[in-house]
Each structure stands twice: as structure tokens, then as C-alpha cells.
Amino acid sequence: MIFRNSFFLRAVFAALCFPLFSIYTLYADNHDLADESGQESKKKNVNVKGTGPDLIQNSIQRGPVKVTVKLQPSKPVIGDILTLTLEVSAEEGVELLMPEFGQSMERFNIVDFVPRKSIDDDGRSLATHRYRLQTPSSGVHAIPSLMIEFVDRRPGNPMAPEGEDAYEVLTERLEFNVESVVPTGVADEMKAPLRELAPVGAGKAKLWVGLILTLLFLSLGLPFAWRGWQQHRIRSRRRSAFDIAYSRLNKLRLGPNPEGDEVSAFFVELSDIVRHYLEDRFDLHAPELTTEEFLEVAATSPDLTSEHKSFLQEFLRQADQVKFARHIPGAESINKALRSATNFLEQTKQDAPLLDESSASRSPNMRRRSKSESTLNAVPREEAIMAGGGKKEGGYG
């Protein structure tokens, strides 16, 4: 009976001691966590891992400091922007030392970085680092461990472990996989879509061949181009006999009204225009012939009509009367001579040959003296000089 009662008492005692022991153990664990910053020998980390539908998360706590690392999205595709958030909270009186910008992020392309710090209503410090990252390639990647330091400035607690400047909290790696955009089943071997690439240096060889062909073409084509350009310049300077004579006649018409002794110089110029036109247009050497000699040659020319021959006979004899007989015609006679010369040029301009204007025989200042003009030596010197005199500004006809 006593034995039974002793066994019963021991069972009751054990039943009462087990809950007490559990309560004590729970209290001791909590007490160790509360005093972790002050007693290094009793420190303990608490890790919490979690993965949501679009989030990878890892948390760790050491004493008064809790660190959480979050990565979104959990299943990125190459080209996606990843958001990495580092959240750190500390109790009042604890100084946080966050990692420097870009620390341990060398393998990623940092698109953006936003740091924040605040203190809540309970005096707790909150620090956040948010990165926006881009991966260089697809496949398995990892966010490396991040180190956060803190100094415990709460009364009665060591500021840092013995021989160190601060406490350290090291997060765990966050591994994730970046999906490729290449469709499933595509061969790994890359092939040229159209043709194989040319060997290295083939482009330079083609460039040299093209350069040599270009130089050869230029060496063969330049002489022809130069000759064509010269011919174009010659053609651009060539004008018909009609254009040259008409231009001189137009200048004479627009010149001053001849009066007195100027009439003689006017008819010298007018007859010179007609004589040179006859030489250029009909190959009649009029400037070297006297009026009578020229009329005899013109009478046998098949290119001149009887009307043209009558005009020349009357025109040249009238000019001789003015130049050598000192006959001074009136304004009507002068206008008639101009109109007759103009009509003669207009009627015979068809098929007029092209001439080079640089020819000395076409220059009004280098005209050859005809035999008929040589008789000017018989008249006074002043009249001979008058034959080449200038004109004043004005208009005529």
C-alpha cells in the first residue's frame, strides 16, 4: 500500500514538474533573446524564409535588430527589372549602419536605388534600401549575403562585441532563376539566317579591289571628261555670225544720236558691221575690197538675192558719201540705213556659221582697214580721227 502510494506520489510530482520545466525553458529562451546584445555567449539568430506567388523573402533577427530581404518577381524573365528591398528595423537606442551603395551588387546592372530612414512612434529606427536590378543573362542567379552593422547604445548593454566596433548581421543568399525567352525545342547552335559570314579580312580585300578599279576608271575616263569639258567651253564661247553682228548693231542703235561730224564715225561703224557680217556669213572678203570691187564679187554670189545685192549697192555707196564726200544725211536717212541693215541681217541669219568670239577679226577695236577706208588719208586728219571716236550715253532709233 505504501509502495503504491509512493508510486502515485512520484507520478503526480512528475506530472506537475513537466509543465513547470516547459515554462522555465520558454522563459530562458526569451531571456536569452532579450539579452543577446549584452551577452555574446548567449546570442542566437532567428531566420524566417518564405516564398509567395511573386515574392522571395528571407528574414533574420539578432537581438534588437531585424533584417528582411525581399525580391520581386520570384520567376523573372530575361529583360525584367528586379526589385530588391532591404528592410532593417532596430529598437530605440540602437544605431544602424547600412551597407554602402552597390555593395555586393557588382554582378547586376543597377537601374535605380532609393534609400530611406525613419523613426516610428515607439522610437524604433527603420531603414530601407530599394534596388532596381537587371540580370545580364538567363539562368540561375543569387543575391549575395548583405551585411548590416549596428551599435547598441541602450543603457546597460555593451555597444559592440569585445574587440570590435559594431555588431554584424549577415543575411542569407537569395537564389532565383531567370527564364529565357528562347522557345522550347530551339537548337542551341546558332546559324546564320542567310549565309555564312565571310572570313576575317575578306572585307578589306574587297575594299582594295574596289579602290583599284575606281582609280583605273578615273585614269581612263579623265582624259575623255577633260576633252568634253574643253569642247563644252568652246561651244559656250561660240556664237553665230548673225548673233555677233546683231549684238554690235544693237549697241550702235542704243548709242547716242549722231550729230554733225559724229555722223561720219557712225557710218564707219555701221558699214564695218555689215562688211564683217558678209565675210563671216557668205565668205566674201568685204573688208579688204573697195565698194566697187565688192559689188562685182557680190554680183556673182549665188547666196545673195537680187534684192540683197540692190540693198548692198545702195547702202555701201551711201556710207562712202558720208565717209569721204562729207555728206551729212538727215535723221530719216540714218534711221533708214539702220532699218535696212537690220532687215538684211534678219533675212540672212538662217544657217549662219558659228564663230569664236575671241577671234581678233571680230573685235571692234582690232578691225582691219579696208581699201576704201584707206582713202581717209586724202581728207583732213581730224576727220580720220573722228571715224573711231567714242559716243556719249543716250538712245537711238
Percent of the chain with pLDDT over 90: 26
Same structural domain, 252 and 154: no
Same structural domain, 251 and 147: no
Distance CA 255, CA 272 (A): 16
Average pLDDT over residues 87-112: 92
Which of 121-125, 186-190, 376-380 has the highest average model confidence (pLDDT)?
Answer: 121-125
Same structural domain, 246 and 157: no
**Higher model confidence: residue 391 or residue 94?**
94
Assess if residue 189 is contained within a domain.
Answer: no
Assess if residue 208 is contained within a domain.
Answer: no
Q: In the chain, what is the straight-line distance between the N-terminal and C-terminal CA atoms, in Å?
A: 170
Average pLDDT over residues 280-292: 75
pLDDT tens sequence across 130-182: 999 999 888 999 999 999 999 999 999 999 999 999 999 999 999 999 998 87
C-alpha cell at 372: 576704201
Neighbours of 79 (CB within 10 A): 10
Same structural domain, 115 and 247: no
Q: How many domains does the chain have?
A: 2
Does pLDDT of 115 surpass 90?
A: yes
Same structural domain, 159 and 255: no
**Higher model confidence: residue 34 or residue 102?**
102
3-class secondary structure per residue, 233-250: HHHHHEEEHHHHHHHHHH
Same structural domain, 173 and 246: no
Bridge partner list, 89: 66, 126
Assess if residue 314 is contained within a domain.
Answer: yes
**Higher model confidence: residue 313 or residue 288?**
313
Instruction: Label residue 62 by pLDDT band (50, 70, 90).
Output: very high
Same structural domain, 48 and 137: yes
Tell me which of 132, 157, 178 is where a domain ends.
Answer: 178
Same structural domain, 80 and 162: yes
Which of 188-192, 207-211, 279-283, 342-346 shows the lowest per-residue confidence on average (mean pLDDT)? 188-192
Same structural domain, 246 and 380: yes
Instruction: Label residue 5 by pLDDT band (50, 70, 90).
Output: very low
Same structural domain, 378 and 295: yes
In 101-147, which residue ranges form alpha helices assigned H by DSSP?
A: none
**Higher model confidence: residue 220 or residue 119?**
119
What's the mean pLDDT when you consider all of the chain?
A: 75
Same structural domain, 243 and 372: yes
Neighbours of 179 (CB within 10 A): 12
Which of 108-122, 219-233, 245-259, 288-302 has the highest average model confidence (pLDDT)?
Answer: 108-122
Assess if residue 93 is contained within a domain.
Answer: yes
Assess if residue 210 is contained within a domain.
Answer: no
The domain in which residue 375 lies consists of 239-386
Which CATH number fits the domain that encloses residue 137?
Answer: 2.60.40
Tell me which of 147, 178, 209 is where a domain ends.
Answer: 178
Q: Give Cβ neighbours of residue 257 (< 8 Å, ≥ 6 apart).
A: 331, 394, 395, 396
Same structural domain, 292 and 371: yes
C-alpha pair distances (Å), 171 with each of 47, 54, 60, 352:
9, 20, 7, 105
pLDDT number for residue 131: 95
Residue pair 244/269 in contact by the 8 Å Cβ criterion:
no
Does pLDDT of 234 surpass 90?
A: no
Distance CA 146, CA 68 (A): 11
Distance CA 328, CA 323 (A): 9
Instruction: Label residue 102 by pLDDT band (50, 70, 90).
Output: confident
Closest CA relative to residue 86, chosen from 58, 123, 124: 58
Tell me which of 178, 195, 213 is where a domain ends.
Answer: 178
